């Protein structure tokens, strides 16, 4: 549903952070992977805010697919601070300062 509203940069940014997150989970002893994942997640919070604010359609062009796409993007954006907190705790458990 992202094709209805957001440009390809939204999907590429979130999917690349997801790939780094998988790498961070697989390599349990790597602090660099966690730091890169946390940094990428914080960057996607900022870019998601920009994407949602710039590409939000007017009410007369808001179809069901676009409404669902916007709702899922906002829901993802609301969950990212909790993910950042959990990643910071994981970073501390792995020996980060």
Show me where the domains of the chain are located: 29-95
How far is Cα 45 from Cα 62, in angstroms, rounded to an integer?
23
- Going by C-alpha positions, the residue among 21, 16, 79, 12 that lies closest to residue 51 is 12
Q: Tell me: pLDDT of 12 over 80.
A: yes
3 pLDDT higher than 70: no
Taking 80 as the threshold, does the pLDDT of residue 97 lie above it?
A: no
Sign (positive or negative) of CA dihedral 35, 74, 16, 19: positive
pLDDT digits (tens, 9 = 90+) for 51-96: 999 988 787 878 888 888 888 899 999 999 999 999 999 889 888 7
pTM of the predicted protein model: 0.83
Burial code (b: 16+ CB inside 10 Å, e: under 16) for 68-90 equals: ebbeebeeeeeebeeeeeebeeb
Q: How far apart are CA 75 and CA 1, in angstroms?
A: 14
How many CA atoms are closer than 13 Å to the CA of 39, on its beta-carbon side? 7
């Amino acid at each position: 549903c992202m094709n209805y509203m957001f440009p390809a940069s939204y999907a590429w940014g979130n999917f690349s952070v997801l790939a780094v997150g998988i790498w961070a989970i697989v390599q349990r002893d790597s602090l660099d992977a966690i730091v890169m994942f946390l940094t990428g997640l914080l960057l996607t919070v900022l870019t998601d805010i920009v994407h949602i604010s710039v590409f939000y359609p007017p009410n007369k062009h808001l179809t069901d697919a676009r409404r669902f796409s916007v709702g899922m993007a906002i829901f993802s954006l609301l969950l990212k601070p909790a993910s950042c907190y959990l990643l910071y705790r994981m970073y501390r458990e792995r020996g980060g300062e």
